[in-house]
Amino acid sequence: MSKKIIFITLTCLFVACGNKLEQQASDVAIVTSDSVMESNKNEDSADISNDERFWFDDAQENHKIIMQAIIDGDAEKLASVTEFPIYQGYPLKDINNARELKQFFIILFDDSIKNVLQKASLDDWSPMGWRGCMLLDGEYLWTTEEGLLHFVTYESQALKQYEQKMRMEEQQDLNESTEWFTHSCYLAEDSSVFLRLETFDGVERLHVFTQSDIPYKRHLIFNGSVEYEGSCHNEVYWYACEDSVISVMITSPMCIGKQDLKVIADHIAIFPKHYNLPDVLQGKTSPLQRAYWRDVKKWWK
């Protein structure tokens, strides 16, 4: 299962919800992570500028340490040149510190990536301006401008299996089709609203849960589509049913750099006043934070 490179900041705008919950899917534009990488490669293929050279030479010292630490299986050394958290896509949780990195190291870094790093050299690293640096066209690792590891694009077989196991368990618990791929979830600041964003066969779907919905697993559902904006290919989701429009923007992590993933000040949902939404959503503007179904169902019991 391929990993989509998505979100560090989330801005949600919910406007004018309609009075019917019909599932009317719009056309969707699909851009794969491979095409995003190719676009970035072509866009930034020019020679290194003098400004980039100024900091890139220093970053290369850390790149050398990162590569050797992964080859040697030295989680402690790798943690010393890592900017936490290391983002992981849903349903996996981010790696927030050296202890978690040590626990997850063997799943993240297998023999395949170690073999790649053994054959690679510092010449295979490229500066990407304010996005930091990437190894081998971004297929394996991303670092900050200081050369600190902050994103692992590579997916080991063990990671894929672990992720698939967790997805299957969640979907079975929800009694939902395993065809739908949940790519992100969010919880309102006051823990009153839980959002699940998922996709299947070109259709995007948004689930809106409130605490009273959880025991019965009932909720509102909106179908929609996705578009991509800007050089970072930020994802903009549009959910609609008749006169209702709900938009959600997810910014690519490579475009944010060192911003802490756990900061929720920029994660805003604006819920309009409308009788078709639960009372808790009426006229509310609420910060959001990334969340997980397995946690929320325990909190809300």
- Indicate whether 252 and 114 sit together in one domain: no
Whether residue 40 lies inside any domain: the answer is no
Q: Kindly list the distances between the CA atom of residue 294 and the CA atoms of 162, 171, 181, 194, 214, in Å, as whole numbers in the listed order.
A: 15, 11, 16, 12, 12
- Indicate whether 171 and 129 sit together in one domain: no
How far apart, in whole angstroms, are the C-alpha atoms of residue 258 and residue 150?
8
- Indicate whether 231 and 128 sit together in one domain: no
State the average pLDDT over residues 160-180. 85
Whether residue 42 lies inside any domain: the answer is no
Contact 276, 19 (CB under 8 A): yes
Predicted pLDDT at 297: 80
pLDDT in tens, 75-110: 999 999 999 999 898 999 999 999 999 999 999 999
Q: Residue 157: pLDDT band by 50, 70, 90 thresholds? A: very high
pLDDT of 68 > 60? The answer is yes
Whether residue 2 lies inside any domain: the answer is no
- Indicate whether 31 and 168 sit together in one domain: yes
State the average pLDDT over residues 53-67. 92
Contact 238, 14 (CB under 8 A): no
Predicted pLDDT at 78: 98
How far apart, in whole angstroms, are the C-alpha atoms of residue 286 and residue 236?
19
Q: Residue 172: pLDDT band by 50, 70, 90 thresholds? A: confident
- Indicate whether 179 and 198 sit together in one domain: yes
How many CB atoms sit inside 10 A of residue 212's CB? 13
- Indicate whether 24 and 169 sit together in one domain: yes
pLDDT of 181 > 70? The answer is yes
Domain range for 242 is 10-35+159-299
- Indicate whether 192 and 134 sit together in one domain: no
Predicted pLDDT at 43: 44
- Indicate whether 191 and 130 sit together in one domain: no
- 103 vs 53, higher pLDDT: 103
Q: Where are the alpha helices (DSSP H) in 90-232?
A: 98-108, 111-119, 157-173
SS3 per-residue string spanning 20-80: CCCCCCCCCCCCCHHHHHHHHHHHCCCCCCHHHHHHHHHHHHHHHHHHHHHHHCCHHHHHC
The mean pLDDT value of the chain amounts to: 75
Q: Residue 8: pLDDT band by 50, 70, 90 thresholds? A: very low
How far apart, in whole angstroms, are the C-alpha atoms of residue 14 and residue 118?
49
Q: How far apart are the first and last CA of the chain?
A: 32
Contact 14, 195 (CB under 8 A): no
What's the total number of domains in the chain? 2
- Indicate whether 249 and 269 sit together in one domain: yes
